[in-house]
Amino acid sequence: MTGAAIAARPTTADDAPAALQALWQQTARPSAGARGDHMPPELEARYGGRMIVPLATDRPTVIANFVSTIDGVVALGPGEPTGGGPISGFYEPDRFVMGLLRSLADVVLIGAGTLRGSTAHRWTPAHVHPGSAGSFARWRAQMGLADQPTTIVVTARGDLPLDHPGLNDPDIPIVVATTPEGARRLGAARVSTNLRVETAGRGEELTGDEIVALTARLGARLVLCEGGPHLIGQLAAPDLIDELFLTVAPQVVGRAGDRLGLVEGVALPATSRWEELLSVHRSTDHLFLRYRRSRRPVQRRPQ
Ligand SMILES: NC(=O)c1ccc[n+]([C@@H]2O[C@H](COP(=O)([O-])OP(=O)(O)OC[C@H]3O[C@@H](n4cnc5c(N)ncnc54)[C@H](OP(=O)(O)O)[C@@H]3O)[C@@H](O)[C@H]2O)c1
């Protein structure tokens, strides 16, 4: 398959920077602790509602944010453009929602494949949506959060592009979570002073539990995983993803070649695990879905 560049989604008169439209929202359940108080009114108006994430008490809460085509592709194949931009059509409201979620997080968690695929990115709220930078910063300050979420990069091999701008901004704390082998490799090569290498686990790769335990040791209460699909697989298999924010972009691209779906590298049992829909927002033809892992037994009988 040849890799044609995907153009930004055509803009119409209805497009950004209009507010997202809240189509449906589940009534919030009371929760012991939550993140999202003091949301600046301009952010609330733009999102079409408040963004409150309940926090677990026994471990950090893990939320994930992805953009997918209608037919479930989140990453194009080798030789094609990388990153979520070609999937969303570089859609500004999607970047706004990414910024909102980063604003809530103590940690933005990514796999090394995502780092390698986004050569100029920084995993901060302001970088993904500069127009809201002031509001994001004010919200974090009101919530008593650090100026920037810590970026955690997960790698088994430790073969990272250490000159990546996302690893070298003095304002962004960076942790590389890796294996003993990866730490050995990185030990000799480390350059950035704000980059810490943390060994988590003893195996050839980190389990989801080891990754979440590391975020707990770092003091995180809310972890935002931005993928990619292989890292998500390691978190989904042991059932560690509490909520999924999924943007559905209005394009169909097909799956021949090595294009990736939302979860790769694991096959989870079908029909036994379900998600509960929490809200649906819309911006033109894009849908913004929010799911929570359902804890209640779900009865689904074949018709
Ligand atoms: N549409 C979206 O919303 C979205 C979101 C994120 C990413 N993406 C796209 O997805 C593509 C990358 O996909 P991917 O699945 O390869 O990304 P990934 O999960 O970020 O990267 C895979 C790599 O991360 C490391 N890794 C992941 N889980 C690990 C674990 N449990 N223990 C140790 N290391 C682990 C390994 O790095 P080492 O090889 O260094 O050992 C592995 O090769 C890119 O094109 C990216 O732009 C799309």
Sign of the torsion angle spanned by Cα atoms 241, 113, 268, 252: positive
pLDDT at 117 over 60: yes
Protein residue with least CA distance to atom 25, ligand 1:
155
Q: What is the pLDDT of residue 303?
A: 53
b/e per residue 59-95 (b: at least 16 CB within 10 A): bbbbbbbbbbbeeebbbbeeebebbbbbbbbebbbbb
Mean pLDDT in the chain? 91
Name the E strands within the chain: 21-25, 34-35, 53-54, 61-69, 107-111, 150-155, 174-178, 195-199, 222-225, 243-249, 275-283, 286-293
Q: What is the pLDDT of residue 188?
A: 73
**3-state DSSP assignment of residue 75:** strand
How many CA within 13 A on the CB side of residue 237? 15
Entry pTM: 0.94
Atom of ligand 1 nearest to the CA of 76: 45
Protein residue with least CA distance to atom 35, ligand 1:
155
Output the CA torsion 159→230→281→20 (10° steps): 10
According to DSSP, the residues that pair with 277 across neighbouring strands are: 291
Segment 172-224, tens digit of pLDDT = 999 999 999 999 999 877 667 789 999 998 899 999 999 999 999 999 999 99
pLDDT at 8 over 60: no
Q: How far apart are CA 242 and CA 228, in angstroms?
A: 17
Protein residue with least CA distance to atom 40, ligand 1:
155
> By mean pLDDT, which of 11-15, 64-68, 153-157, 240-244 is the weakest?
11-15
Protein residue with least CA distance to atom 21, ligand 1:
113
Atom of ligand 1 nearest to the CA of 110: 20
**3-state DSSP assignment of residue 56:** coil
Task: Please give the DSSP secondary-structure letter assigned to residue 225.
Answer: E
pLDDT at 15 over 70: no
pLDDT at 277 over 80: yes
Q: Which one is predicted more confidently, 103 or 16?
A: 103
Q: Which one is predicted more confidently, 303 or 245?
A: 245
Give, for 102, the enclosing helix (H) or strand (E): helix 92-104
Segment 236-274, tens digit of pLDDT = 999 999 999 999 999 999 998 799 999 999 999 887 779
Q: How far apart are CA 200 and CA 212, in angstroms?
A: 10
Q: What is the pLDDT of residue 191?
A: 64
Q: Which of 231, 234, 235, 259 to mutate to test the pocket of ligand 1 (most atoms within 8 A of CB)?
A: 231
Instruction: Dig out the tokens for 177 from the structure.
Output: 């979570």
Residue 16's pLDDT band, with cuts at 50, 70 and 90, is very low
Ligand 1: residues with CB < 6 A are 66-67, 74-75, 82-84, 87, 110-114, 117-118, 154-157, 159, 205-206, 226-231, 234, 260, 264
83-94: average pLDDT? 96
Residue 298's pLDDT band, with cuts at 50, 70 and 90, is low
pLDDT at 13 over 70: no
Task: Tell me how crowded residue 219 is: count the other CB atoms within 10 A of its CB.
Answer: 11
Q: Which one is predicted more confidently, 43 or 190?
A: 43
Residues 6+ apart with CB under 8 A from 236: 208, 263, 266, 268
What's the gap in Å between 293 CA and the centre of ligand 1? 22
Q: Mind giving me the DSSP string for 237-289?
A: TTT---EEEEEEES------SS-B-SS-S--PPTTS--EEEEEEEEETTEEEE
Q: How far apart are CA 138 and CA 147, in angstroms?
A: 9
Atom of ligand 1 nearest to the CA of 206: 32
Atom of ligand 1 nearest to the CA of 113: 21
What's the gap in Å between 198 CA and the centre of ligand 1? 18
Protein residue with least CA distance to atom 38, ligand 1:
155
Q: What is the pLDDT of residue 31?
A: 77
Residues 6+ apart with CB under 8 A from 117: 75, 82, 83, 228
Q: What is the pLDDT of residue 115?
A: 97
Residue with tokens 């003993």: 180
